[in-house]
Amino acid sequence: MAGSCRTLIPMLPAQARATPDWQQPWPLLVAILAGLAHTLSFAPTPYGGWLEIATLTWFYTLIAYRRTLCATLVSACAFGFSHFASGVFWLYISMHVYGGMPAIIALTALILFALYLAAWPTLAAALWYFCSATRSDIMAAPPSIHWRSSLAFASAWALSEWLRGVILTGFPWLASGYAQVAGPFAGYAAVIGVYGVGWLLAFNAALIGQMLIAAFKRGKWVLSAPLIIFVTCITGGSAATKVAWTNPAPHAPLTVRLLQGNVQQEIKFEQQGVDMAIALYQELITAQPADLIITPETGIPVLEQDIPESFAYTIRDFADKTGSAIIFGAAGATLTPTGPVDLTNSLFGVTPRSPILYRYDKHHLVPFGEFIPWGFHWFVALMKIPLGDFARGPAIQQPFFVGAQPLALNICYEDIFGEEIARTLRQTPIPAGILVNATNLAWFGDTIALDQHLQIAQMRALETGRPVLRATNTGATAIIGYDGRVEKKLTTFSIGSLEARVQGRVGVTPYITYGNMPVLVVSLLLLAIFAAQRIKMLYIR
């Protein structure tokens, strides 16, 4: 094992030695395997948080060994492409199986989207390459730890993940911090959020990677600093999980019932499916009273104005007689003489003995599914997706009250944007004590999308210190405690009602107060300092 890493080069075939660094096949294969392993770090893999430390260490070590910028970027792109193509392959199911798009077009769309997502880890590698210590410094003898390289990698990684979550309306799915909801860094989520957790993860991965590089090239282990920091971070994360940032609300716990109808996506918006869904949810709602009863997103798959009177009267009468508050999903619209306009994906709340119907309109819409980007109407026309162009609800909407307990509602995709949920809690006069997510993931079939989305909801509970209620069409319908643990869950692809007593919370976590600002400020400041130093060094040369 001793000797310079350059001794690897003579071991390769003569043809490989003559091949430019970025064209050599073996680093690409290693990068692809690392990307696939990174996908396995996320749900439903148990202990994925520990696996993710290994895969990010793998990624850092890989790009640190590349000799040129071009080779570094190619490896990063291969890593990102294999990770995202395998991690969001369920989009193909949505487009082809349920959307009716021709297979070749759906596959092409998935490949192009994975390439776009791969641009973000590639950007992280480019920033790291420019801002970190030079490769000759990292590989130099005697072996040592280069803090600048580790800090630059963590900052570039966190910044690129944040940019992926905001550019072009954002797609923060599979942000690295999500794999840590049951991992060693979970305790930091309430303080620095999912991107801050990703920063810590990348920092430790870089330190471990440098330790491995030093051991490989010199046959010596540089143990002290990396291991001390790694153990300190893990110990701190464990201790942080015991900090109660929020407290039980003074109100009594709510009895809740979360409904899962398992309505087949193929018929959901056909008349047969509409009639079946309305009858099914009327039966499930009125089966038993509770303080709060919730249906999934578009559980009633019609416009608000087209809800049958028999359903409306039955639900109102049940609410008044039993004292049950009911939240159901349907499409909203503004009526005009020419017909309904400004369609919205909405949740409606019925309060006992109150004539006022609460309404929440989805704010963060899904591109192509709920709004059509300019120039892509032809693409959406290839899919059989009804109501493909919705109006956007306000960014901040008032909570729904069940007695004295306020609830913050969001619909499906919205709960992957932690900053927006934190902003709602931060800017409402009475912050909600319980988060409610109504969703329909039937578009993605029996895939890892269901487990991944549940993992995202667990991170929202950790960040806000509040329980999360998830009512879904096919799964995973679940009750998540304020500590991020899944307390109860229905079997996926079954019809049922999940019942529990849920205690609201009061107080705010540091993440609610500051959002993503701390990790962004630290990352940008460090990268700016390192970039200025590198530019100065190049200028002097």
Catalytic (active site) residue 412: yes
pLDDT at 299: 96
pLDDT at 386: 58
pLDDT tens, position by position, 399-455 = 999 999 999 999 999 999 999 999 999 999 999 999 999 999 999 999 999 999 999
In the chain, domain spans: 5-244+517-540, 247-508
The C-alpha atoms of residue 127 and residue 339 are separated, in whole angstroms, by: 52
Catalytic-labelled residue, pool 52, 77, 268, 297: 297
Average pLDDT over residues 319-323: 97
pLDDT at 65: 83
pLDDT tens, position by position, 102-140 = 999 999 999 999 999 999 999 999 999 999 855 555 555
Which position has the higher pLDDT, 367 or 505? 505
pLDDT at 9: 34
Cα torsion 125, 129, 132, 134: sign: positive
Residue pair 438/347 in contact (Cβ under 8 Å)? The answer is: yes
pLDDT at 2: 39
Confidence band for 11, pLDDT divided at 50, 70 and 90: very low
Catalytic-labelled residue, pool 131, 268, 362, 414: 362
Confidence band for 475, pLDDT divided at 50, 70 and 90: confident
Mean pLDDT of the chain: 89
Catalytic-labelled residue, pool 52, 217, 412, 414: 412
Asked if the model's pLDDT at residue 384 lies above 70, the reply is: no
Catalytic (active site) residue 297: yes
pLDDT at 66: 81
Which position has the higher pLDDT, 381 or 172? 172
What architecture is domain 247-508? Answer: 4-Layer Sandwich (3.60)
Confidence band for 473, pLDDT divided at 50, 70 and 90: very high
pLDDT at 25: 77
Catalytic (active site) residue 5: no
How far, in whole angstroms, is CA 162 from its chain's centroid? 11
Asked if the model's pLDDT at residue 179 lies above 60, the reply is: yes
Which position has the higher pLDDT, 320 or 366? 320
User: Going along 268-338, which residue ranges are E strands?
Assistant: 292-294, 325-336
Confidence band for 142, pLDDT divided at 50, 70 and 90: very low
Confidence band for 145, pLDDT divided at 50, 70 and 90: low
The three state secondary structure string of 481-527 is: CCCCCEEEECCCCCCEEEEEEECCEECCCHHHHHCCHHHHHHHHHHH
Provide the percentage of residues in the chain whose pLDDT is more than 90: 74
How far, in whole angstroms, is CA 190 from its chain's centroid? 16
Residue pair 176/201 in contact (Cβ under 8 Å)? The answer is: yes
C-alpha separations of 293 from 315, 469, 470 in Å: 11, 11, 11
509: three-class secondary structure by DSSP:
coil
Which position has the higher pLDDT, 228 or 54? 54
pLDDT at 195: 98
Residue pair 508/246 in contact (Cβ under 8 Å)? The answer is: yes
Residue pair 246/482 in contact (Cβ under 8 Å)? The answer is: yes
